[in-house]
Amino acid sequence: MMPWLYHCPPASLAAAFCLKVLVVSLSWPCFPPWKVSPRLEDPAALITRRLHGAMQLGYIEGEEIHSHWSALWIIHSWIIATLGAYIALSTVQHMRRVRTNGWYCYLLLQAGLGLGFCTVWCMHFVGMQALQLKSGSISGNMPEIGIVFEVSFTITSGLAAWLISTISLHICHGCKFQHGQVVRNRESALRIVLATSILSAGVCVMHYMGMMSQRGGFKMLYNPIVVIVSVGIAIVVSAAGLCIVVFLPNRTVFRMAASVVIACAVNGMHYCGMASAHYIATADGPTWGLHTVHVTPKDVLVAVLVVDILLMVGNAYYIEVIEKIEVRHEQQLLHEGFVAAAKKLVKRSKEMRFPMVLIRYQVFAGLGRLVPHETLRDQHKLVFVDTGRAAAKLRKANVIVFFSHQWLSEKVPDPQNVQYDEMLVALTQLAQTMHTRPENILVWVDYSCIPQHAVDQQQLAIESLPAYASVCSAFVVIAPQVLHTQTKVPCNFTSYSQRFWCRLEVFCTILSAVRMGACSDQIESIEEVQEGTSSNSLTLNGVTSRSELCQLDSNQAPIGLNDKQRIFLVLQGRLQRLCFFGAKGLLPDYEKLLYVYEGELDCCKRSHLSETGETIPCDKTRLVETLAGCYGAMLMDLQRVKQKKRQLSPSEEAAMAMAEIIVSQRKQIFPKHFFTSRINAMHEFVSSRQNCTDNRATRRENTSGATGNHSFHGKDTGESENHSSEVTTPCSQTDRLPDNWEDMDFAVL
């Protein structure tokens, strides 16, 4: 068996179907022509002669007619039963996955059609074609007696097989309908016993009804012992088949093996039941019934093939539908998990999962170049800050500078020490600007402060970047005009703004500025950077000088948020202020910095292949939960601002404006390919917290009102409590994900 068949039920089903068609095609010349065989007499003439007491073809009245069996038709009956059983088992496996009443009923009827009609009924009539009545016990070798079938019994037996199989499958699965959904109970031996009784009785009724529908110049006598044995076989076969249906693992190889077993068992019951009948030649055979029809071998095969094709097409369609339903259900569960984990992510985004590593100015100035973290750690030249509270306390007496830069080489970030020299210039001017001594400056730079070899520690440090950015006194961009060492591509602020890690650091700083603006009454303000640039507008490395960037006065731009932002750039050997905000919000030149996930990564350029050719995950997946938590924290802070019953400060208004920009562009900032529904989950989490807060406020108002009424009017407190409980709505439950959750436009609050 080909390996791909084990994982593709439609393919294996088609393979079995092709095998069946191949066998039928090879044996097609053995079949009689489409027209009625000359040795068979017209049914109407046969019945007329029987009514006049005439015998057919020279048989003697009362002699036993010998039964002969065609091996070719026995093989055909087994193939038909195998294919029908496989279709039924495949449909049952798909039926287990549906959850709505409509799809469950459709698949249940299809499974009953595959088991009752294709496996049992079609196999029964194909197997009856294997019977040949010829040569009497007294008259000797005589021509074959033709067999016709009574229409009403034939149709009734087929419908009975379909209906009884459907009922039995439903009982053994133990499903019930509640509010349009299918609820499944645990497997029960009692249900299997009940379904076995119904199915075995239905199989026996169908089989003997089919035998009773036979018409010809004979009558049938049954051996009761063989009949009882056939009934016992039917019970065993039904029990085994239903146990296979209920407990069979969802694997193609198991279904194929089980379909072979079921086909052998059904064929055994059928031919045992056929062996219980003895055919006696008589001119007074049964003539009752509506009408008789002559069924040729080709009629049976064509009918079976048509039904199998319909079931295969239905199975393929339902597989596609169920997969979509399953995907949607998985998205629903995943989204509910995101909502449940939102509080944890928000809390984690504010924590330092790895200590913040800093370098004192004296140590950094004496290095002469950027040194990796492990070297400085072994030389005991690093300062480790474990918590955000400790970092905030350290910042009161010191200045913490966050350096953001791009790597100018594949192995080391600054092979020519160009960026290191500009960092020293920035530190000197920051000391003058902030009126502090250089000894009070602490430096954070990624190459020296993030582990470069320990992957687990490096991941924790990367997840702590938002916390690092929030406690820094200044964020300085280092982007000189140089060439990349290997690629010889110009590196400047334009290339800096295209890098994923650079955009990430800027975005974390902007989020920190928004949160600080929203909580301005809880955070110390930072001194204004002194003016020191010429009035001329200069352009270098794709960046306009500060005289153009910060030309808006306080009446035109939200300068309060620019103060909280604390982002600087070393330009022409001077420390320049980067003002991201204008009168209408974020300046157009810096909008692309918000789109972190559109930034470039070396792993993406290498098609996520390592140096050894192994597939590695994209680095963009490492910050998904962290950025989602930062977004949720921003929403919660803005919710607190909205609840304040006073006029908002300029910083708070600027924070609200910037947050609206981020929320309105969240689909581009947080692409669905990476974040799925995490961002919408944050909105639902914040909304549920707001509902809880409103409910608690309502309860307090109702309680205080009830207490006042009791003390003044003397009413019963219990009545007030009951009234309060009636107006209170639960806030612990979250609404189910709506059908159009992907396109919903959530408000900020």
Asked if 702 and 560 sit in the same domain, the reply is: no
Q: Under 8 Å CB-to-CB from 669, ≥6 apart: which residues? A: 594, 595, 596, 597, 662
In a domain, 22, yes or no: no
Residue 546: how many CB atoms within 10 A of its CB?
24
Locus of tokens 């609206």? 660
pLDDT at 580 over 90: no
Res. 712 pLDDT band, cuts 50 70 90: very low
Question: pLDDT value at position 285?
Answer: 63
Asked if 429 and 284 sit in the same domain, the reply is: no
Strand partners, 570: 575
Task: Provide the CB-side half-sphere exposure for 591 (13 A, CA).
Answer: 13
Q: Can you read off the two tokens belonging to residue 63?
A: 């002699």
Q: For residues 404 and 506, is the Cβ–Cβ distance under 8 A? A: yes
- How do residues 72-107 score in pLDDT, each as one tens digit? 888 888 888 888 888 888 888 877 777 777 777 888
Exposed / middle / buried, residue 330 (Cβ in 10 Å: 0-12, 13-18, 19+): exposed
Question: pLDDT value at position 253?
Answer: 82
pLDDT at 670 over 90: yes
Asked if 413 and 543 sit in the same domain, the reply is: yes
Asked if 452 and 521 sit in the same domain, the reply is: yes
Question: pLDDT value at position 584?
Answer: 57
- Per mean pLDDT, which range of 145-154, 230-239, 631-640 is the poorest? 145-154
In a domain, 494, yes or no: yes
Asked if 394 and 490 sit in the same domain, the reply is: yes
Concatenated DSSP letters for 260-316? HHHHHHHHHHHHHHHHTEEEEE-S-----SS-EEPPPHHHHHHHHHHHHHHHHHHHH
Asked if 399 and 535 sit in the same domain, the reply is: yes
pLDDT at 466 over 70: yes
**Residue-number span of the structural domain to which 234 is assigned:** 43-308
Question: pLDDT value at position 447?
Answer: 94
Res. 422 pLDDT band, cuts 50 70 90: very high
In a domain, 235, yes or no: yes
Question: pLDDT value at position 139?
Answer: 73
Q: Are strands 292-293 and 356-360 parallel, antiparallel or unpaired?
A: unpaired
In a domain, 621, yes or no: no
The total domain count for the chain is 3
Q: For residues 307 and 118, is the Cβ–Cβ distance under 8 A? A: yes
Choose among 640, 498, 658: nearest CA to 579.
658
Strand partners, 182: 177
Choose among 577, 572, 578: nearest CA to 590.
578
- Per mean pLDDT, which range of 428-437, 457-466, 734-743 is the poorest? 734-743
Q: For residues 207 and 124, is the Cβ–Cβ distance under 8 A? A: yes
Task: Provide the mean pLDDT of the chain.
Answer: 75
- Per mean pLDDT, which range of 207-211, 483-487, 561-565, 664-668 is the poorest? 561-565
Asked if 109 and 201 sit in the same domain, the reply is: yes
Q: Return the DSSP state at 736.
A: P
Q: Please give the torsion angle defined by the CA atoms of residues 110, 116, 120 and 121, in that order, rounded to the nearest 10 degrees.
A: -90
- How do residues 353-408 score in pLDDT, each as one tens digit? 999 999 999 999 999 999 999 999 999 999 999 998 899 899 888 999 999 999 99
What distances in angstroms separate CA 614 from CA 206, 459, 483, 611, 674, one per listed residue? 61, 20, 30, 7, 22
Res. 517 pLDDT band, cuts 50 70 90: low
Instruction: Give how far the C-alpha of residue 429 lies from the chain's centroid of Cα atoms, to the nearest Å.
Output: 54
Q: Can you read off the two tokens belonging to residue 149?
A: 């079938």
Q: For residues 262 and 188, is the Cβ–Cβ distance under 8 A? A: no
Alpha-carbon span 417 to 422, nearest angstrom: 9
Alpha-carbon span 519 to 655, nearest angstrom: 9
pLDDT at 304 over 80: no
In a domain, 20, yes or no: no
More confident residue, 588 or 550: 588
In this prediction the pTM is: 0.59
Task: Provide the CB-side half-sphere exposure for 645 (13 A, CA).
Answer: 0
In a domain, 149, yes or no: yes
Question: pLDDT value at position 13?
Answer: 46
In a domain, 510, yes or no: yes
Alpha-carbon span 152 to 439, nearest angstrom: 104
Question: pLDDT value at position 707?
Answer: 52
Locus of tokens 């020299």? 421
Question: pLDDT value at position 421?
Answer: 93
What distances in angstroms separate CA 662 from CA 97, 462, 595, 616, 668, one per listed residue? 40, 22, 10, 30, 9
Q: Of 256, 285, 308, which closes a domain?
A: 308
- What kind and span of H or E run contains 136? strand 131-136
Give the gyration radius of the chain's Cα atoms. 41
Question: pLDDT value at position 322?
Answer: 67
Task: Provide the CB-side half-sphere exposure for 435 (13 A, CA).
Answer: 5
Question: pLDDT value at position 298?
Answer: 67
Res. 477 pLDDT band, cuts 50 70 90: very high
In a domain, 117, yes or no: yes
- How do residues 527-566 score in pLDDT, each as one tens digit? 333 333 333 333 333 343 333 333 333 333 333 444 444 7
Q: Helix or strand or coil: residue 139?
A: coil
pLDDT at 26 over 70: no
Concatenated DSSP letters for 544-613? E-HHHHT---TTTS-HHHHHHH-EEEEETTEEEE---EETTEE-GGGGGGG-GGGSB-HHHHTTTB-TTS
Alpha-carbon span 490 to 254, nearest angstrom: 61
Question: pLDDT value at position 605?
Answer: 83
Res. 233 pLDDT band, cuts 50 70 90: confident
Question: pLDDT value at position 224?
Answer: 86
Asked if 381 and 294 sit in the same domain, the reply is: no
Print the SS3 string covering 356-377.
EEEEEHHHHHHHCCCCCHHHHH
End-to-end CA distance of the chain: 58
Q: Of 605, 634, 653, which closes a domain?
A: 605
Q: Of 576, 605, 634, which closes a domain?
A: 605
Asked if 207 and 260 sit in the same domain, the reply is: yes
Asked if 132 and 261 sit in the same domain, the reply is: yes
Locus of tokens 């009625």? 36
Question: pLDDT value at position 290?
Answer: 56
Asked if 290 and 361 sit in the same domain, the reply is: no
Locus of tokens 């009827």? 109
Q: How many helices (H) and strands (E) does the chain have?
A: 28, 22
Q: Under 8 Å CB-to-CB from 262, ≥6 apart: which residues? A: 81, 82, 85, 119, 237, 240, 241, 244
Question: pLDDT value at position 240?
Answer: 83
Q: For residues 244 and 258, is the Cβ–Cβ distance under 8 A? A: yes
| Residues written for the chain | 749
Asked if 476 and 425 sit in the same domain, the reply is: yes
- How do residues 107-163 score in pLDDT, each as one tens digit? 888 888 888 888 888 888 788 878 888 777 777 777 777 777 777 777 888 888 888
pLDDT at 437 over 80: yes
Q: What is the mean pLDDT of residues 664-669?
A: 90
More confident residue, 581 or 635: 635
